[in-house]
Each structure stands twice: as C-alpha cells, then as structure tokens.
Amino acid sequence: MSNLADVEGERLAFQLPKFLLFVAISIVFSAFGRLVRGVTTSGAVAGAVACLAFLWSSGISAFTALFTVFALTWAATRLGYSRKQQLGTAEARAGRDALQVLANLGVAGICALCFGFSGSTRWIAGMAAALAEAAADTVSSEVGQVLGGKPRLITNGRPVESGTNGAVSLAGTVAGILAASIVALVSCIVGLFGLRDSAVCVTAAVAGMVMDSVLGATAEGPGRLGNNSVNCISTAMAAALALLVSQ
C-alpha cells in the first residue's frame, strides 16, 4: 500500500542529523504559520510539535500532506474575510490557538506515531483521512459562508443564518469534498498510499465532515460540546473509518 522509502527499515531509529533536520523543518513551518497569521504563538508551538511527530514517524511524505492541509485551510479562511467579519463569523486575525491546532491535528498525529511504532500502513490511511477531514471541514465552512448563499440546517433542512452550527450549503459541501480530494491526491502522489486508499481517504473524510455538521447542529449548537471537541470527534471518526476499510 505504501512506498514510504524514507522511513522503511529505520522506523523511529534515532539518528541525530535526521532528527535535527526534522526539528529545523518543524520550527520553520511553525514560524511561517505564525508569520502569515495562520496560528497564534501557542498554536505555532503546538503545530511544531505535531509537525515533528509527522516527520519523525512518517517522513517528508506526511509533512507534505500536513502542509497541504495548512495551505488549503489558510486560503479558505482568508477568502472573503471582510464579509465574514460583517457576519461575525470570521476567524481571529491572529489565527488558531494551540487547542484548535490539536483538535484538528491531534488524531492524525496519533495515527502517524502509531504507524511509526507498529509499521502497519493502515495507520497511514487513518492519518491521511483525519487530515483530509480537517481540511474538508474548514474549507466547507469558510467557502460556504462566502459563496454558499442561505445555508440550511443539516438535521431538518430549515434555512438558517450563515455561521450557524450545523449549517450546510451546496457550495461549501462541494468545496469540502474538493479539499479532501486534494489532500488524498497529494498523499497518493508522494507515496503514502495507492489509488484505492485515496478513495477510502476521501470517503472517510467526507463522512467525518458530515458528522461534524450533525454534531454542530445537535450538540455544539445547544452547548453540549465545544467546537474543539466536535472537530476532534469528527477527525477521529474519519480516521477510524479509514482504519477499518483500508488494506
């Protein structure tokens, strides 16, 4: 299923030069994220730790998938920012904090580490699906607020205000599916898995995105769960589905 030549045969073996290289990449990546206001200072620290986990356990290929997620979500967040400010739904200009970063990347990072320790490539599919879900969820929400028109609540189809928890739109949903597909395609190109598991990754990510909306309407809206909890549960669902179905 996976090429992963850069980690095969030396999984988690401590090599100081490689470790220092990965630390440097993680620091540069997190500093870049802070520079473009994708994350706060605490978010940059959390991102650096997560990045190092991806690199050390799964190599540059996993980092490429991670960077793809960052690029997609950053661009979607900045799309139509002034309109989102008017709606009161814009993300803070400083970016995501540590809890938000971990809520979106924590499950994928755990999957990456599990691959590093076990060698089972099913964990790679779980990692990619969790990353794809995080991208799909953010992109669908951000694009939907700008291009989706009047959204509808996923549970009953009732028209609601943009930014309402559990609200969905056709434009946002299509954008989310496209984002998940891009993450899966990049993961395939860099050798994380083959075409079959790319399809598994997209399917699991879209299922997680739908779950995110359902939880938003039924649990986050009423105040039973916070946004970070909803994001974590949704990425975990996507990872679990990919783990069950992948070869």
Q: What integer pLDDT is reported at residue 81 of this predicted model?
A: 79
Determine the residue type at 9.
Answer: G
Structural contact between residues 137 and 234, judged by C-beta atoms closer than 8 angstroms: yes
Structural contact between residues 129 and 223, judged by C-beta atoms closer than 8 angstroms: no
Query: CB under 8 Å to 160, separation ≥6 — which residues?
Result: 151, 152, 153, 166, 167
Identify the domain containing residue 232 by its residue range.
Answer: 16-245
With respect to residue 4, please indicate whether it lies within any of the assigned structural domains.
no
Evaluated on CA atoms 175, 176, 181, 187, the torsion sign reads: positive
Query: CB under 8 Å to 97, separation ≥6 — which residues?
Result: 39, 40, 42, 43
Structural contact between residues 125 and 242, judged by C-beta atoms closer than 8 angstroms: yes
Number of domains observed in the structure of the chain: 1
With respect to residue 167, please indicate whether it lies within any of the assigned structural domains.
yes
With respect to residue 5, please indicate whether it lies within any of the assigned structural domains.
no
pTM more than 0.85: yes
With respect to residue 2, please indicate whether it lies within any of the assigned structural domains.
no
Q: What is the pLDDT along the chain (247 residues), one digit of tens a residue?
A: 445 544 444 444 557 888 899 999 999 999 999 999 899 999 999 999 999 999 999 899 999 999 999 999 999 998 987 877 776 666 767 789 999 999 999 999 999 999 999 989 999 999 999 999 999 999 999 999 988 888 999 999 999 988 889 999 999 999 999 999 999 999 999 999 999 999 999 999 999 999 999 999 999 988 999 999 999 999 999 999 999 998 6
Q: What integer pLDDT is reported at residue 2 of this predicted model?
A: 47
With respect to residue 154, please indicate whether it lies within any of the assigned structural domains.
yes
With respect to residue 3, please indicate whether it lies within any of the assigned structural domains.
no
Cα angle, residue 235 at apex, residues 245 and 22 outer, rounded to 5°: 95
With respect to residue 165, please indicate whether it lies within any of the assigned structural domains.
yes
With respect to residue 232, please indicate whether it lies within any of the assigned structural domains.
yes
